[in-house]
């Protein structure tokens, strides 16, 4: 059974067909790139998968179960995590508390835990703290745990966002332009980090990215969108030379790469 199955997905915003007949099957632990020009529908795919939007047509199944109609929180609890093109940290909270917040969402000790006694709450608090510090250590941020998230350099904020997304042990991570705003050296480090995340956590990843060096360097399979429709799908070497991709997105830059 596939981890994620998307079949003939579509959505309209008024008279605009933002996505049409989009299909994708993702296996456990797979890493797929999703590229295309601005406005092609890439982030719309993420918003549909995570329940932000409800599709006008088509189906989304997670381990055989439909996700259509579920709330974003339910989809996150099922094992789907995401980052955003524009970083969405709680900038006034500490680095540690940003990760803890993600774990509280998946915590079990709420009203019923409180009724069971303070011991259950204390045990969960300790587990959340230990998991949060473990994630910060893995991402090289443990020494900044007490610092406000908004005070971190841009690259560190990106790492914190990924640490937060991975803290609850998702099976699928949706990365929306993680290299946005990075210079070439930072993007190269990000490429290595995505490889490390994929290897270390064994998590499936769908990566939206405009920096072709990152996508081509890390994704064995790439899907290309243009005007809300898939125009090509395959390995990097196939995508690099596909005439519709060159015309729609990569252009002369791709020909010279």
pLDDT for position 256: 43
Q: Are 225 and 17 in contact (CB under 8 A)?
A: no
User: What's the mean pLDDT in 216-235?
Assistant: 96
Is residue 67, in this structure, part of any structural domain at all? yes
Residues facing 64 on adjacent strands? none
Q: How far apart are CA 116 and CA 57, in angstroms?
A: 44
Scanning 182-232, the segments in alpha helix (DSSP H) are 184-201, 212-218
Q: How far apart are CA 98 and CA 123, in angstroms?
A: 20
Q: Are residues 225 and 148 part of one domain?
A: no
Q: How far apart are CA 155 and CA 144, in angstroms?
A: 13
Which residues touch 212 (CB under 8 Å, ≥6 apart)?
35, 250, 253, 254, 257
Q: How far apart are CA 97 and CA 125, in angstroms?
A: 12
Residues facing 208 on adjacent strands? 34, 176
Last residue of a domain, one of 105, 126, 153: 153
Q: How far apart are CA 145 and CA 99, in angstroms?
A: 10
Q: Are residues 58 and 17 part of one domain?
A: yes
User: What's the mean pLDDT in 211-232?
Assistant: 94
Q: Are residues 65 and 100 part of one domain?
A: no
Is residue 66, in this structure, part of any structural domain at all? yes
Which residues touch 101 (CB under 8 Å, ≥6 apart)?
90, 93, 164
pLDDT for position 212: 85
Any idea which of 30-44, 191-205, 240-254 has the lowest mean pLDDT?
240-254
CATH code for the domain of 51: 3.40.50.300
Q: How confident is the model at residue 1 (pLDDT cuts 50, 70, 90)?
A: confident
Residues facing 206 on adjacent strands? 32, 174
The answer, yes or no, to whether residue 189 has pLDDT greater than 70, is yes
Q: Are residues 75 and 24 part of one domain?
A: yes
Q: Are residues 106 and 72 part of one domain?
A: no
Q: Are residues 40 and 9 part of one domain?
A: yes
Q: Are 254 and 241 in contact (CB under 8 A)?
A: no
Q: Are residues 54 and 175 part of one domain?
A: yes
Range of the domain at 42: 4-79+170-255
The answer, yes or no, to whether residue 250 has pLDDT greater than 70, is no
Q: Are residues 75 and 96 part of one domain?
A: no
Q: Which helix (H) or strand (E) holds 237?
A: helix 236-240
Could you tell me whether strands 204-208 and 172-176 are parallel, antiparallel, or unpaired per DSSP bridges? parallel
Is residue 86, in this structure, part of any structural domain at all? no
Q: How confident is the model at residue 210 (pLDDT cuts 50, 70, 90)?
A: confident
Last residue of a domain, one of 125, 153, 181: 153
What's the total number of domains in the chain? 2
User: What's the mean pLDDT in 24-49?
Assistant: 96
Q: How far is CA 89 from CA 66, 95, 121, in A?
A: 29, 9, 25
Q: Are residues 125 and 242 part of one domain?
A: no
Average model confidence (pLDDT) for the chain? Answer: 90
Q: Are residues 103 and 64 part of one domain?
A: no
Is residue 84, in this structure, part of any structural domain at all? no
User: What's the mean pLDDT in 58-74?
Assistant: 97
- Give the closest residue to 33 by CA, choosing from 186, 176, 153, 203: 176
| Residue 185, number of CB atoms within 10 A of its CB | 9
Q: How far apart are CA 37 and CA 221, in angstroms?
A: 18
Between 213 and 145, the higher pLDDT residue? 145
The answer, yes or no, to whether residue 97 has pLDDT greater than 90, is yes
Q: Are residues 71 and 126 part of one domain?
A: no
User: What's the mean pLDDT in 195-219?
Assistant: 93
Is residue 163, in this structure, part of any structural domain at all? no
Q: Are 53 and 8 in contact (CB under 8 A)?
A: no
User: What's the mean pLDDT in 227-253?
Assistant: 86
Any idea which of 115-124, 143-152, 165-174 has the lowest mean pLDDT?
115-124
pLDDT for position 123: 81
Q: Are residues 114 and 64 part of one domain?
A: no
User: What's the mean pLDDT in 142-169?
Assistant: 95
The answer, yes or no, to whether residue 174 has pLDDT greater than 80, is yes
Q: Are 206 and 212 in contact (CB under 8 A)?
A: no
pLDDT for position 238: 96
Is residue 71, in this structure, part of any structural domain at all? yes
């Amino acid at each position: 059974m596939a981890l994620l199955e998307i079949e003939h997905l579509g959505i309209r915003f008024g008279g605009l067909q933002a996505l049409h007949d989009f299909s994708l099957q993702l296996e456990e632990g797979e890493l797929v790139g999703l590229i295309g020009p601005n406005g092609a529908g890439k982030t719309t795919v993420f918003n549909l998968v995570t329940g932000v939007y409800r599709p006008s047509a088509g189906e989304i199944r997670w381990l055989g179960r439909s996700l259509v109609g579920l709330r974003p929180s339910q989809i996150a609890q099922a094992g789907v995590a995401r980052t955003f093109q524009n970083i969405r940290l709680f900038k006034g909270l500490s680095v540690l508390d940003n990760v803890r917040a993600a774990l509280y969402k998946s915590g079990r000790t709420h009203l019923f835990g409180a009724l069971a006694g303070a011991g259950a709450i204390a045990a969960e608090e300790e587990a959340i703290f230990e998991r949060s510090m473990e994630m910060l250590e893995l991402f090289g941020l443990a020494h900044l745990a007490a610092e406000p998230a908004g005070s971190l350099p841009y690259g560190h904020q990106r790492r914190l966002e990924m640490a937060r997304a991975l803290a609850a042990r998702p099976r699928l991570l949706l990365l929306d332009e993680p290299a946005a705003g990075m210079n070439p050296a930072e993007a190269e480090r990000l490429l290595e980090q995505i490889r490390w995340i994929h290897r270390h956590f064994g998590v499936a990843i769908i990566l939206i990215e405009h920096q072709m060096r990152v996508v081509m360097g890390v994704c064995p399979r790439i899907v290309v969108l243009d005007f809300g429709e898939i125009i090509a799908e395959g390995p990097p070497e196939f995508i690099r030379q596909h005439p519709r991709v060159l015309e729609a997105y990569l252009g002369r830059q791709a020909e010279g790469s």
